[in-house]
Amino acid sequence: MPDLKPLPPHLIGGNFLLTETDPSLVFTPEDLTSDQRLMAQTAEKFMEKDVLPNLEALEHQEEGLLPKIFRKAGELGLLSMGVPTEYGGLGLDKTSTIGVEEQVTRLGGFGVTCGAHRGIGTMPLHYFGTEAQKQKYLPKLASGEWMGAYALSETGSGSDALSLRTKAELTPDGKHYVLNGTKMWISNAGWADLFTIFAKVDGKVTAFLVEKTFPGVSTGKEEHKLGIKTSSTRRVILEDAKVPVENLLGEVGKGAYIAFNILNIGRYGLGAGAIGGAKESIKVATRYALERSQFGRPIASFGLIQHKLAEMATRTFAGESVIYRTAAMIDAVQETGEMMDSTTPPFPRSLDEFALECSIIKVACSEILDDAADETLQIHGGYGYTEEFPAARAVRDSRINRIFEGTNEINRLFIPGLLMRRAQRGRFPLVEAITKVTKELLDMSPSDDTAEGDDLAPVQSLLANAKKLVLFVSGVAYQKHGEKLGDEQEIVASLSDMIIDIYLAESALLRTLKTRNVRGSASAMVDLTLAFTNDAVGRWEQQARRALAAISQGDELKTQLGIVRRLLRWTPLNGVAIERRIAKRLCEVGSLSALVASK
């Protein structure tokens, strides 16, 4: 077990499942200071002046245009926010940079270029590089003079990334590694100056910093992609590529730590960008729904269109709430400066602690964006299917987010798997929690324990019960399948979906409670939280029943289903009325941000 220092309960990864959090401890978008909002405003102006007017030319990859705009982003500090000041960066925390992630994804492909550069392109060096490596490369990456890329995938190894075949051999004089192999699907490859490349040394995965001008390094032609056409995706070809030994990143055989811990942060960044895209879709959809009339009235006045607008707003609100909550948690652990010393190379605990939350964010936010983009197209009707409106491009651009940074299937499998691995290492008291909850539930006599109180009190007690439910179902599943539970992917995915909804619903609730405490009222947020929870109950029930029915049968199953019913006791709210209120206000104010700002 790693020798880790104790953290406050709300800063322990995965602990949201076992404890309740005081609303005052969560960070929300409403907590941003004017200084923190400044970078987002800079990014917004940049997008409107330099990027969006060039949209067509960027989509057609006009020679030299993207690198020019990219450098401008660098001059404005938009590429260096997470890089420490001693290496030419702005040294900002995560909460200060979310707004930038949101802005750049207003054009999906440009968001991928910047995100891949700042995240997986720069962070391996930032977190795992030696002082000399950082001095040499970080300032160039921070300023945008150079572009970064991350090359893990190959033709035969995508999800199963560690089965990669690229080889690196030390030359007899010990001065270089010679790399041979082909990397596939590498974002930014067409423009990148520095690649973090993963190759095997004597069969062990190892990371290297590879300049594009090193002998033997070349790139393939641009892939013809469904979307994100503004971005570059190519193969990186290594033919006896000579890489100086000084460019070994970390240690031989420790590349997997680098690859996977960087992906944690990448998943968080992807989610933040996706929520930016979803917020943009909401604006576009609302505007169109108000402008377009059919049957003599704006389509925004129809219930089914209101339902779509409200659902987009509800889910995006929950997604935004988890992004800010998690960003501040990562920042707080980062501030402790604690390293995972039991690993070589050591790396900041903040990269590892919230791996579960980062996967949740990746899955949930990519799906929120996909649905928002799809419904925006639907609201545009036939026009949405043409290139005349931005909806078609948004659908194409959003789709990639469910595939890269670990497919959503792989991330769904990872979420319960990680909890179990941490439990086995004595780092997370999962087994104790399952045992306690199971005993309590089996001993409990049926009673009407629906919470009374204000409108959010039942949500709080339902959430507490949803946590018990996922622990209970996990216990039943583990009892049946033991160590082989991972092979029962459908059950694992059901657990995962329940956990995802819990984190989202709780984050939305805590944000609403905190805001209401501060402002005295937050009725729009209350509606959004109620709408999310009202729908989540059905999903929890469906997933729990599906998992239990795949595990148990007969009387045992009946008893277990009784527990599900008891835990999810919830008088359905009038979801239609709530959604109509949400949609009406959204149409009055035009954006999710304005909606949640209203009391």
Ligand X SMILES: Cc1cc2nc3c(=O)[nH]c(=O)nc-3n(C[C@H](O)[C@H](O)[C@H](O)COP(=O)(O)OP(=O)(O)OC[C@H]3O[C@@H](n4cnc5c(N)ncnc54)[C@H](O)[C@@H]3O)c2cc1C
- Catalytic residue numbers? 405
Under the binding rule (CB under 6 A), the answer on residue 153 touching ligand X is yes
Under the binding rule (CB under 6 A), the answer on residue 147 touching ligand X is no
Nearest to ligand X of 407, 598 (CB atom): 407
Of 93-101, 153-161, 493-501, 540-548, the window that binds ligand X (rule: CB under 6 A) is 153-161
**Residues, the chain:** 599
CA-wise closest residue to 503 among 70, 8, 9, 13: 13
Identify whether the C-beta of residue 531 lies closer than 8 Å to the C-beta of residue 575.
Answer: yes
Under the binding rule (CB under 6 A), the answer on residue 376 touching ligand X is no
Encoded one letter per residue, x for contact with ligand X by CB under 6 A and - for no contact, window 77-116 reads ---------------------------------------x
Q: How far is the CB of 484 from ligand X (least distance, A)?
A: 14
Under the binding rule (CB under 6 A), the answer on residue 150 touching ligand X is yes
Distance CA 39, CA 41 (A): 5
Q: How far is the CB of 61 from ligand X (least distance, A)?
A: 14
Phi first, then psi, for residue 217 (nearest 5°) are: -105, 125
CA-wise closest residue to 290 among 272, 314, 309: 309
Among 257, 404, 428, 478, binds ligand X (CB under 6 A): 404
Among 89, 115, 158, 390, binds ligand X (CB under 6 A): 158
H/E segment holding residue 219: strand 217-219
Distances (CA, A) of 115 to 88, 89, 112, 182, 372: 18, 16, 5, 23, 21
Of 314-322, 405-413, 493-501, 526-534, the window that binds ligand X (rule: CB under 6 A) is 405-413
Under the binding rule (CB under 6 A), the answer on residue 182 touching ligand X is no
554-567 and 430-443 helices, crossing angle to 10°: 100
Q: How far is the CB of 158 from ligand X (least distance, A)?
A: 2
Q: Which residue is nearest to ligand X (CB)?
A: 158
Q: How far is the CB of 489 from ligand X (least distance, A)?
A: 6
Nearest to ligand X of 23, 67 (CB atom): 67
Q: Give me 287's structure tokens.
A: 């505007």
Query: DSSP character for 198?
Result: E
CA-wise closest residue to 360 among 311, 328, 326: 326
Burial class (CB in 10 A: 0-12, 13-18, 19+), 545: middle
Number of residues that bind ligand X (CB under 6 A): 19
H/E segment holding residue 470: helix 457-481
Under the binding rule (CB under 6 A), the answer on residue 186 touching ligand X is yes
Under the binding rule (CB under 6 A), the answer on residue 225 touching ligand X is yes
Give the rounded distance of the alpha carbon of 277 from its chain centre.
13
Please tell me the number of Cα atoms within 13 Å of 192 on its side-chain side. 35
Under the binding rule (CB under 6 A), the answer on residue 152 touching ligand X is yes
Under the binding rule (CB under 6 A), the answer on residue 164 touching ligand X is no
Among 151, 209, 332, 493, binds ligand X (CB under 6 A): 151
Under the binding rule (CB under 6 A), the answer on residue 233 touching ligand X is yes
Q: How far is the CB of 138 from ligand X (least distance, A)?
A: 19
Under the binding rule (CB under 6 A), the answer on residue 238 touching ligand X is no
Of 183-191, 454-462, 478-486, 516-524, the window that binds ligand X (rule: CB under 6 A) is 183-191
CA-wise closest residue to 399 among 371, 419, 378: 371
Under the binding rule (CB under 6 A), the answer on residue 199 touching ligand X is no
Identify whether the C-beta of residue 249 lies closer than 8 Å to the C-beta of residue 262.
Answer: no
Nearest to ligand X of 74, 115 (CB atom): 115
Nearest to ligand X of 63, 160 (CB atom): 160
Distance CA 203, CA 253 (A): 8
Among 410, 431, 557, 561, binds ligand X (CB under 6 A): 410
Among 187, 264, 316, 474, binds ligand X (CB under 6 A): 187
Beta carbons within 8 Å of 224's beta carbon, 6+ residues apart: none
CA-wise closest residue to 468 among 484, 493, 492, 444: 444
Query: DSSP character for 22?
Result: -
Under the binding rule (CB under 6 A), the answer on residue 409 touching ligand X is yes
Q: DSSP for 125-184?
A: HHHH--HHHHHHHHHHHHHTSS-EEEE---SS-SSSGGG---EEEE-TTSSEEEEEEEEE
Nearest to ligand X of 233, 534 (CB atom): 233
Q: How far is the CB of 152 from ligand X (least distance, A)?
A: 3
Nearest to ligand X of 225, 242 (CB atom): 225
Q: How far is the CB of 486 from ligand X (least distance, A)?
A: 9
Distance CA 465, CA 444 (A): 13
Under the binding rule (CB under 6 A), the answer on residue 72 touching ligand X is no
Binding site for ligand X (CB under 6 A): 116, 150-153, 158-159, 185-187, 225, 233, 400, 403-404, 407, 409-410, 489
